[in-house]
Structure 1
Amino acid sequence: MFFFVNLLSTFLLKFIRSLVYERMRIFMFLQPRHGCVSDKKESICLTSVVLFAFMTIVGILLAFAVLQRPQDSHQDPPSIDQCRMAIVESIPQYVDYQGNVTFGLPLEKAWKELLSMATETLQVVSFYWTLTGEDININSSSDRPGRAILDQLQSLPSRNVSVQVVTSLPTIKTNSTDLKKLRQKGVAVREVNFGRLTNGILHAKFWIVDGRHVFIGSANMDWRALTQVKELGMLIYNCSSLAKDLQKIFLSYWVMGEPNSSLPEKWPSTFDTVINKDHPLLVEEDNITSKIYIAASPPPFCPKSRTLDSEAIVSIISEAQTFIDVAVMSYSPIIRFQHPKRYWPTIDNAIRTAAYEKRVAFRILVSCWHNSYSTMLPFLRSLASLDSFKDHINIKIKFYILPPGNETNIPFSRVNHNKYMVTDKVAYISTSNWDGDYFSTTAGVGLVISQNSHHPIQKSKTVQKQLRAVFDRDWSSEFAVQLADIKKHPHCALLP
């Protein structure tokens, strides 16, 4: 290809040079009868030739610029980032798995590590903040990890680390003083009024450290996320390309947190992204090729270049070939927080289509606890009713029910808060439940990772393999209950 380009450019250069030479020769030997008789006319002719020569040189330069330009490729060049990844989990107290099972990096350890690594900036997004027991009028020793995290956060400004925090309006009603304490220590805090802007909430949960390290997951800045609620997320080290892309989402929240802000009809180009479903970030490290991008919701907060979260989910489902495992806190194909309520079948239809047309095997693990929404049950039963060995339709559904433990007085605890999906091709970790509101009015992000390796040992270390091992562990555990057996569990609000 380069030989052809060089040959063509050389030919073009010679052609233009000969053209210029011929024009100059004509000028030098031009006879008076051809028009250059007087000094004035001769001056005009000379100006014409000089102008032509100048235009010719510009043409040559433009030709070289076009011909020597790197050719477009169907695949972007690999990132120089390392983008090392680790699955992060929080397993509640008094939850013991039987057998030899593995767990992700503990959430408390991941957060403390990020706080220790921060040297320049920390940006945190969380729906709400309750890092101490007093925030919810509870006296419990299980809030100690949360208190330790709050102490570390307060110390960052004294280490010359710039800290920015974004949270939601409306939010959960608590007596939280976390943000007040952080402001007093020099942390910049903004509350984004999603209730006014979109009729939703800011439900995203992520960290960006020094513009290099990223955490995305289900955990809010809540001490219960560390000891009383089952959480899952992804920690990505040394991935500045992805971190800078996530900062654009953070910045959209930040500017909308200004007083009297209003959503633009079109987001400025500074919010555009070059990393999306069609052009994921390509990373090659340790014989593993990774394709990564971040999807987001709701649509009014996303420029056209950003893949919508619902679009990412449907795409992942439609591209799966053999299996899809889903773990979510709630599943209902409706818009249930607005009036009137509406049917929202986007994801539900994608599941049914993949199960019927492509014979993809589904396992769906939905959480059940005291606060489960009752309308989930008929929709889940409808999906489960399609399961048919005879018709080669494979949709299995279970509920994940955590035991109450010794501290039953702690509200909004003892639940599997995970939000992820894993297929034979992709790992997807999100901050959104699978209800229609989370994709139409509520802010959330979804991390999409596809890894591949031809090396047998490395292939077993891909994020898809690791995440499926987590799902297998939970699906086969004593906490996973068949749909027909939930009546035996009083801690589940979906009693038939």
Structure 2
Amino acid sequence: MEIRQHEWLSASPHEGFEQMRLKSRPKEPSPSLTRVGANFYSSVKQQDYSASVWLRRKDKLEHSQQKCIVIFALVCCFAILVALIFSAVDIMGEDEDGLSEKNCQNKCRIALVENIPEGLNYSENAPFHLSLFQGWMNLLNMAKKSVDIVSSHWDLNHSHPSACQGQRLFEKLLQLTSQNIEIKLVSDVTADSKVLEALRLKGAEVTYMNMTAYNKGRLQSSFWIVDKQHVYIGSAGLDWQSLGQMKELGVIFYNCSCLVLDLQRIFALYSSLKFKSRVPQTWSKRLYGVYDNEKKLQLQLNDTKSQAFVSNSPKLFCPKNRSFDIDAIYSVIDDAKQYVYIAVTDYLPISSTSTKRTYWPDLDGKIREALVLRSVKVRLLISFWKETDPLTFNFISSLKAICTEIANCSLKVKFFDLERENVCATKEQKDHAFPKLNRNKYMVTDGAAYIEPSPRWMARQEIHMALWGRLVFYLLSPRR
């Protein structure tokens, strides 16, 4: 014990101070602890970097999303602008072929065509017209690009002796299908026609309109468009009887693309209803009428200034700017100042069924107004055949009775019995299942003329005008 104390006491003061200083200094961290701290710092720094990268990516993503929204909005605006531009083009009246009111041809040549049954002879002084068969063949011979035909009848290939012209017409249509000429045909869905099927198999485009799906009616229009230049409108359908047994009347326009511009829209309207069971609520502007009773087509027909427009029915088939045919007929009669000449197959403003009788006074009333109120001369040419209703004579007698006591009332009526006029027909031919008939329908006044395919003015047809799909053509003098 003494020795240890002595040793401690014998140490120098400086040495003891050093020992005390060393004991008071903090201990150095161990290497393992240093590594843990470094790793923790590195991890925090890496997480901070990842967070900054994520924030930058988020900003870029939000920025790109904003760009996409802006681009989408611009695309929508551009689409709307394009739609408005095309809408404006529609309003100007341009069709898919680039035809418009500004570049169409309105200096046209016109020719009446007529089918006169064999054995019916006119007087030597009677006017002579191009035959219906020759007029149709001329149009088909002129065809270079397209032939569009609307008809409710398609029965050209028949074994009847007078069906030879129909057979030749059918052969010509078949020939055109092999000449790279586009053929489009529109018919009633009720027309179960071998002719249409044969043409379809050869490449023709056939459209069936199901009128019964709209209003239980029938298609009665009959017109042709050839090469978007030439037009036929008339009473004759594509059946052999129109070229043999029936008296038909029509008109052909040559080089008249302004008329085609409007007529093509009716053809397009019919075609658009293929396979549809109801009429659309809104028609495309490309189906709007180009001309109507208010805005008539200005034409030069055989160097004579004229005006024209086309009406349609039923009213369901009258988009904007398309005249409804019954309104246009009323307008023609009301505007007559001197005379009204009318040719029809049947004239009967009453309809009777087993359960209901209906009276349709509209057209009959217009004729009476013209006779009584305006002293307009009226001439009626009515067909007489086996289906003529006896009540027809009662209504004609009623019309005649008006003029018995009224001054300046002029009415003449003639019944056209084509079988009696046929001087060559034998008794066996007259009793045949295919009688000859005056089937044309037209009206001529001092200011206008119109022609349509439906041959009858009967209550069961006219009172339900909305049931019949038909086109009517009106030709007016310049004063109108």
TM-score bucket (shorter structure): 0.7 to 0.9
Q: Which residue of 2 aligns with 1:383?
A: 399
Q: Which residue of 2 aligns with 1:435?
A: 458
Q: Which residue of 1 aligns with 2:258?
A: 241
Q: 1:145 to 1:409 in 2, by over 3 A?
A: farther
Q: 1:304 to 1:334 in 2, by over 3 A?
A: farther
SS in structure 2 of the partner of residue 262 of structure 1: coil
SS in structure 2 of the partner of residue 443 of structure 1: strand
Q: 1:352 to 1:206 in 2, by over 3 A?
A: same
Mapped to 1, the partners of 2:145 and 2:103 lie a distance apart of 27
SS in structure 2 of the partner of residue 230 of structure 1: strand
1:199 and 2:216 aligned: yes
Q: 1:356 to 1:78 in 2, by over 3 A?
A: farther
Alignment deviations for residues 438-458 of structure 1 (CA, whole Å, 9 cap, x no partner)? 5321011111112359xxxxx
Aligned partner letter, 1:395: L
Alpha-carbon offset, residue 377 of structure 1: 3.1
1:350 and 2:366 aligned: yes
Query: Which runs of structure 2 are paired with 1:296-445 in the superposition (5 Å)?
Result: 296-334=312-350, 340-388=356-404, 390-403=406-419, 405-406=425-426, 407-408=429-430, 410-432=432-454, 433-436=456-459, 437-438=461-462, 439-445=465-471
Mapped to 2, the partners of 1:102 and 1:384 lie a distance apart of 29
Query: Which runs of structure 2 are paired with 1:170-189 in the superposition (5 Å)?
Result: 170-171=190-191, 176-189=193-206
1:162 and 2:182 aligned: yes
Aligned partner letter, 1:243: V
Q: Is the 8 A contact 1:328 1:418 kept in 2?
A: yes
1:274 and 2:290 aligned: yes
Alpha-carbon offset, residue 418 of structure 1: 0.9
Higher-Rg member (1/2):
2
Question: 265-274 or 418-427: which moved more?
Answer: 265-274
Alignment deviations for residues 168-227 of structure 1 (CA, whole Å, 9 cap, x no partner)? 1335xx7x4111111111111121111221111001111111111110101011111112
Match of 1:110 among 135, 138, 161: 135
Mapped to 2, the partners of 1:126 and 1:338 lie a distance apart of 32
Aligned partner letter, 2:132: L
Question: 425-434 or 208-217: which moved more?
Answer: 425-434
Mapped to 2, the partners of 1:309 and 1:338 lie a distance apart of 30
TM-score normalised to the size of structure 2? 0.72
Mapped to 1, the partners of 2:330 and 2:385 lie a distance apart of 27
Q: Is the 8 A contact 1:170 1:195 kept in 2?
A: no
SS in structure 2 of the partner of residue 347 of structure 1: helix
Question: 409-418 or 237-246: which moved more?
Answer: 409-418
Taking only the aligned residue pairs, the percentage that are identical comes to 34
Question: 335-344 or 153-162: which moved more?
Answer: 335-344
Q: Is the 8 A contact 1:419 1:431 kept in 2?
A: yes
Q: Which residue of 1 aligns with 2:37?
A: none
Alignment deviations for residues 424-468 of structure 1 (CA, whole Å, 9 cap, x no partner)? 111111112223425321011111112359xxxxxxxxxxxxxxx
Match of 1:124 among 106, 130, 149: 149
Mapped to 2, the partners of 1:107 and 1:446 lie a distance apart of 18
Alpha-carbon offset, residue 77 of structure 1: 9.3
SS in structure 2 of the partner of residue 377 of structure 1: helix
Alpha-carbon offset, residue 79 of structure 1: 6.6
Q: 1:157 to 1:193 in 2, by over 3 A?
A: same
Q: 1:412 to 1:169 in 2, by over 3 A?
A: farther
Aligned residues: 369
Aligned partner letter, 2:441: K
Q: Which residue of 1 aligns with 2:269?
A: 252
Q: 1:98 to 1:80 in 2, by over 3 A?
A: closer
Aligned partner letter, 1:416: N
Mapped to 2, the partners of 1:244 and 1:340 lie a distance apart of 43
Aligned partner letter, 1:276: D
Match of 2:235 among 195, 215, 218: 218
Mapped to 2, the partners of 1:409 and 1:118 lie a distance apart of 40
Q: Is the 8 A contact 2:104 2:257 kept in 1?
A: no
Q: Is the 8 A contact 1:82 1:237 kept in 2?
A: no
Alignment deviations for residues 265-304 of structure 1 (CA, whole Å, 9 cap, x no partner)? 3322211113011111102366411101111111111113
Mapped to 2, the partners of 1:286 and 1:77 lie a distance apart of 21
Give the alignment's Cα RMSD to 1 decimal. 2.3
Q: Is the 8 A contact 1:124 1:166 kept in 2?
A: yes
Query: Which runs of structure 2 are paired with 1:10-49 in the superposition (5 Å)?
Result: none
Aligned partner letter, 1:435: M
Listed as ranges, the gaps of 5+ residues in structure 2 are 1-100
SS in structure 2 of the partner of residue 156 of structure 1: helix
Q: Is the 8 A contact 1:167 1:191 kept in 2?
A: yes
Q: Which residue of 2 aligns with 1:494?
A: none
Mapped to 2, the partners of 1:78 and 1:395 lie a distance apart of 45
Match of 2:125 among 87, 96, 100: 100
